Every structure is written in C-alpha cells, then in structure tokens.
Structure 1
Amino acid sequence: MGATLIGVILASALWGVTCVQVWMYYTNYPKDPWHLKALVAAVFISDTVHEILICHSIYTYLVTNFGNGAELGIIVWSILIEVLFSVSIILRSRSFLALRVWKFSGKNMYITAVVVLLVVGEFISVLYYTGRAYNLKTYAELAALQGPSMTINALGAAGDVVIAVSLCTMLHKSRTGFKRSDTMVKRLMLFTINTGLLTSICAIASLISIAASPNTFIYIAFFFMMGRLYSNTLMATLNARRAIRTAGTSEEAMSVSLPGVGVPPSRSMNLTVRVDTTRELTRDLRRDEVCMF
C-alpha cells in the first residue's frame, strides 16, 4: 500500500502542475478556437475527477479501514472507475498527437495509421481490462489480468516512441541551413523528445513492475501518474507554442558584394541585404497552431 500512497502523492503534485498549465493556457491563448479550448476543459475535468477517485481509494484503505488488514485485499470501486477517466485523458492527448503527426507529415496516411492503430489498440485493451475487472472483488483475482495490463502499457510505450521518432524525423528533414531556423528545429526536436520521454518511462516502469511483481501494488502507482503525465504533455505542447514561434522568427543580415556602376572596375559596392529567414515551418505554426506546436 506504500507504493499506492506514493503514487497518489505524486499524481496529486502533477495535478497541481496541470492546474497551473491550464490557467496559463486560458490566460495566454484567449483567441484559440473553441474546440481546442473544449479539449483542454475536457482533459482538465477528467483529470480532476481522476484525482478525486484516487484520493477516495487511498482514504478508504488508510483511514476508513485503518487497522483492518483484511480490507487491503479488497478492490475499492473507485480504483476501477478511475481507469476510465485515466484512459479518457490518454485517448484525448494521444488523438491530439496523432493529428499533429498527420498535419506535420503532410497528411502522410502510413505514418498516421501506425499511430492511430496504437492509440485505438490501447483504448480497446483498457476497455477490455475494465470490463473484466469490474466484477472482481479482490486484488488476487485482479492478478489474473496480467496479460491485458501488460498489453496496455506496451502499446502506450510503443505509441510514445513512434510519435516522438516520427516528429523528430520530419523536423530533421525540415532544416533550412539558416542558423536561427535550424536552432528552432533543434528546440522542437528536444521538446518532442522530452514530452514523450516521461510518459514512455512511466509506461515501461509499469510494464516491468507488472511482470516482476504482479501481486503487489507497485504498478498501480505508475498507472495513477500515467494520465496526469499525458495531460501535462498536452498542456506543455499548447503552452510552448508562443516561445517556439518567437525562436523561429528572425531576420539575418547578409553582406553581398556587387560591382559598382559608374566607378572603376577595381572598386565594388558593399550592400547589406536583409534576408528574411523565417521558415515555412514558422508560418505553419501561426496558421495551424491546433495541430502543430
């Protein structure tokens, strides 16, 4: 139960981070389209309900049933219901990332199809797991669902890796040769890797803990944090747009030597030409912020 308590504490801290990020989003991006604002609201509501449910579960075990060791093996209803809200967060966040891959890849159906299949596969696996677990009473019975649980985490980790690799590959191909534009591309690649790294690590850690200790609560701690990491990934992606756009918009000066007109051939005129190096990628950021960064 100690691992579950730690998971609730960390998930609660991440919920606080989500609150700050949601406030920053609505403050800094009041002109975003309504469907994007609705997405943020839906994720935040699901995140909050999930927080209430996991707090209820740990309160039931450690306070309501304090001193009653037999109750620790009984599944509290909120433990099962929270899975649905967690997967709703993951589904919305993954769908947003899949749409971003589709737009950023020039509507490449093959890459997008792989991402969508992983997202749908994970969602179906969670529904199957929840349906099987709903009628169970003890954690000893829940251990029989080790296979579906491992499948969920494996698909989650694979989806994060595919999304990160796809976006980094496309960003690498979009380099222009201009220093400032390439710097922006590098920042985008680093941001993509960082946002997908935590969710991948959490999914892999949950997968390992299920395989190594299926009869303990260790994997539950990671699963409590999973949805929270996805909601923060979504919010970080949305809130980073302004900083990334600013980094990508610049002008660079070039010194061009042109032959003088009406002067001796041995002399030349040095003209400073302002060349706008704003990449098409930056214009895309302004035009289609919803599906990009």
Structure 2
Amino acid sequence: MSEKIAEIGVLYAPFLGGMMVGCFLFGITISQSIIYFRNYKDDSLFLRALVASALLIDTFHFVMVAEGVHNWYLFCKLPQNYAGLAEFHWSLGASILATYLITSMVQALYIMRVYMLSKNWIISGFIGLLSVAQLAFGIFLWEELFETNSLAALHETRGQIGGSVELAATTLCDIAISAALWWYLHKGRTGFANTEKMIDKLILYMVNLGLLTSVASLLTLILWLVMPHSFAFVSLTLIRSKLYCNAMLVTLNYRQTVRTALHGGTTQQTTGRYFQDIDQVEMDSKVYKSSNSRH
C-alpha cells in the first residue's frame, strides 16, 4: 500500500509543484491588479474590463487547480478511489480552458500594440493566426480529454497532436510578438541621446516580458515532447495563466514611468509622432491624452 501511494505521489508531484509556484504568482497578480486600479482610474472601459476579466478568470483558474490537487492528493489516495487518478477531473478541464482564454486575451492585447506600432496588417494578422491556432488546438485537446474522460488521452496520438500544435503555436506567437516589438521600436530611433536611451529601456522591458512567456511555453513544449508518458509539463502549464496575467499587468503599470521619462525628462523635439505611437501602444488613459493634446 505504501509503495502504491509513493508511486502516485511521484506521478502527480508536478500538480502540487505547479500549484505552490502558482500561489506565489497569484499573490503578485493581486498586488499588480490593486496598483493598476488605484493608479489608472481614467483608463478606457475596454482596458479596465480586460484587466478585471483576466483577474477573475485567473482567480477561477487558481480555485480549480486547488480543487484538482485536493482531489488527487486527498480524495484519490483512498484505496477505494484509486481509479479516479486516471480520470479527467472536471476541475482540470476548467483550469485548462481558463489558461487558454487568458493566453488569448493577453496575446490579443500585445497584437494590438504591435499593429499600433507597425501599422502592418500582414504581420499583425500572422501573429493573430498563431494566437487563434493555440486557442483552437487547445480546445481540441480539451474536447479529447473530455470525451475520453481519461488523462491517458494526453499520451494518445490525437492528444499528442493537439497538445504539440497548441504549445508550438503559443511559443511561436510569443516569439513573434517579441521580435515585432523589438524591430519596430528599433526602427523608431531618432539619433537623440535621450530618445535612444528611452528606446533601449522600452526594448529591454517589452521584449524581456515577451521572452518570459516564450521560454515558459518552450520549456513546456520540450517536456511534453521528451517525456510523453509523464506529467512533468503540468508544473509549467499550471502557472502559465499567472505569467501572462503578470506580464500584462506589469506592462500596464509601467506606463507612468514611460510617461514621466518621455514628457518630463525629454525635450519636446524628442517627443514627436514616434512617441505618440508609444503612448498609443501603452494604452494611455483618456484624461492623459486629452490634457496632452491641449499643450
């Protein structure tokens, strides 16, 4: 009996590890959300609704993951409930859908920023297709698990195809967003020292946030492919929604620093059309835009 329980513990350890890291990241999400709603009361209704929706969905995700861990580590450890370990528990299905939804929401916001900076429909559309692909194949994988009601579907052909394409599309989408932001920010260089310094900071800041989610998605894909009969990839999957939420919130909360640097510490000559585009990319508040236009 003890050997059986130990085997179960090792198999499902990634779920517990992912939840523990998720607790830490969820705390950061809450604090970043508080900062946002306190400091950006004049943001558009769309942006505030997006942040509120992401926070609610991520909270729902956290609760579902907690219920899943409770199910596997407490309920299913009872001898009469061992069969439940192989089943696709409803809480896991709910958390998966929440992850795909948050990923799509945050990627859509970044794609809007890429378009505002580039005005290029082709590039923005291509990145958008990658985001749609991750959502579509993610739902395909979820349906496969739901229909079979078994975690073993993750290791079957259809499950492997759905999961591989979903993770690959997510990774490529994040990399494409980072590359596009880097390229168009780099093209905006004007030669002024203050401008160059600010652009370098924006590139470092925006690209690093994109690379964070890209690396997480890539590592998940690698674990998925090289350890097909393990749940090792789950530990990263369970924190993916938290990474995306925090990337979005930190970016939005960074706007005040950008505004101060662009309009407080630089000359009017260096704050031309390019930096007006940066303000648009950073989704400035209506009040700030209107007051700035009066000057």
TM bucket normalised to smaller: 0.7 to 0.9
Q: Is the 8 A contact 1:250 1:278 kept in 2?
A: no
Residues in 1 aligned to 2:180 and 2:155: alpha-carbon distance in whole angstroms: 35
For residue 126 of structure 1, what is the aligned residue in structure 2?
A: 138
**Per the alignment, do residues 251 and 245 of structure 1 end up closer, same or farther by CA in structure 2, a change over 3 Å counting?**
closer
Q: Which amino acid in the other structure matches residue 213 of structure 2?
A: T
TM-score of the two chains, using structure 2 as the length reference: 0.86
Q: Is the 8 A contact 2:117 2:278 kept in 1?
A: no
Residues in 1 aligned to 2:241 and 2:280: alpha-carbon distance in whole angstroms: 29
**Per the alignment, do residues 79 and 251 of structure 1 end up closer, same or farther by CA in structure 2, a change over 3 Å counting?**
closer
Structure 2 residue corresponding to 1:198, chosen from 212, 222, 247: 212
Q: Is the 8 A contact 2:57 2:102 kept in 1?
A: yes
Structure 2 residue corresponding to 1:17, chosen from 15, 28, 32: 28
Residues in 1 aligned to 2:20 and 2:110: alpha-carbon distance in whole angstroms: 27
Question: Larger Rg: 1 or 2?
Answer: 1
Structure 2 residue corresponding to 1:280, chosen from 270, 273, 276: 273
For residue 16 of structure 2, what is the aligned residue in structure 1?
A: 5
Asked if 1:227 corresponds to 2:241, the answer is yes
Instruction: Identify the structure with the greater strand proportion.
Output: 1
TM-score of the two chains, using structure 1 as the length reference: 0.87
Unaligned runs of 5+ in 2: 1-11, 286-295
Q: Is the 8 A contact 1:164 1:196 kept in 2?
A: yes
For residue 237 of structure 1, what is the aligned residue in structure 2?
A: 251
2:148 is paired with a residue of what secondary structure?
coil
Q: Tell me how far 1:132 sits from its aligned partner.
A: 1.4
Asked if 1:93 corresponds to 2:106, the answer is yes
Q: Is the 8 A contact 1:245 1:282 kept in 2?
A: no
Residues in 2 aligned to 1:196 and 1:141: alpha-carbon distance in whole angstroms: 31
Instruction: Identify the structure with the greater helix proportion.
Output: 2
**Per the alignment, do residues 35 and 135 of structure 1 end up closer, same or farther by CA in structure 2, a change over 3 Å counting?**
same
Q: Which amino acid in the other structure matches residue 277 of structure 1?
A: T
Q: Tell me how far 1:70 sits from its aligned partner.
A: 4.4
Q: Which amino acid in the other structure matches residue 4 of structure 1?
A: F
2:103 is paired with a residue of what secondary structure?
helix
Q: Tell me how far 1:216 sits from its aligned partner.
A: 1.3
Equivalent runs, 1:211-226 vs 2, <5 Å: 211-226=225-240
Structure 2 residue corresponding to 1:167, chosen from 181, 188, 194: 181
Q: Is the 8 A contact 1:248 1:279 kept in 2?
A: no
**Per the alignment, do residues 245 and 214 of structure 1 end up closer, same or farther by CA in structure 2, a change over 3 Å counting?**
same
Residues in 2 aligned to 1:243 and 1:280: alpha-carbon distance in whole angstroms: 19
Equivalent runs, 1:112-151 vs 2, <5 Å: 112-144=124-156, 145-151=159-165
**Per the alignment, do residues 149 and 113 of structure 1 end up closer, same or farther by CA in structure 2, a change over 3 Å counting?**
same
For residue 177 of structure 1, what is the aligned residue in structure 2?
A: 191
Asked if 1:290 corresponds to 2:283, the answer is yes
For residue 166 of structure 2, what is the aligned residue in structure 1?
A: 152
Q: Tell me how far 1:286 sits from its aligned partner.
A: 4.2
The superposition leaves residues 220-277 of structure 1 with CA deviations (integer Å, 9 ceiling, x where unpaired) of: 111111111111111111111111222223567xxxxxxxxxxxxxxxxxxxxx8743
Q: Is the 8 A contact 2:33 2:55 kept in 1?
A: yes
For residue 123 of structure 2, what is the aligned residue in structure 1?
A: 111
Unaligned runs of 5+ in 1: 253-273
**Per the alignment, do residues 88 and 291 of structure 1 end up closer, same or farther by CA in structure 2, a change over 3 Å counting?**
farther
Residues in 2 aligned to 1:162 and 1:291: alpha-carbon distance in whole angstroms: 24
**Per the alignment, do residues 96 and 251 of structure 1 end up closer, same or farther by CA in structure 2, a change over 3 Å counting?**
closer
Q: Tell me how far 1:19 sits from its aligned partner.
A: 0.5
Moved more, 45-54 or 142-151: 142-151
- When the two structures are aligned, how many residues end up with a matched partner? 270
Amino-acid identity (%): 27
Q: Tell me how far 1:71 sits from its aligned partner.
A: 3.5
1:135 is paired with a residue of what secondary structure?
helix
2:149 is paired with a residue of what secondary structure?
coil
1:236 is paired with a residue of what secondary structure?
helix
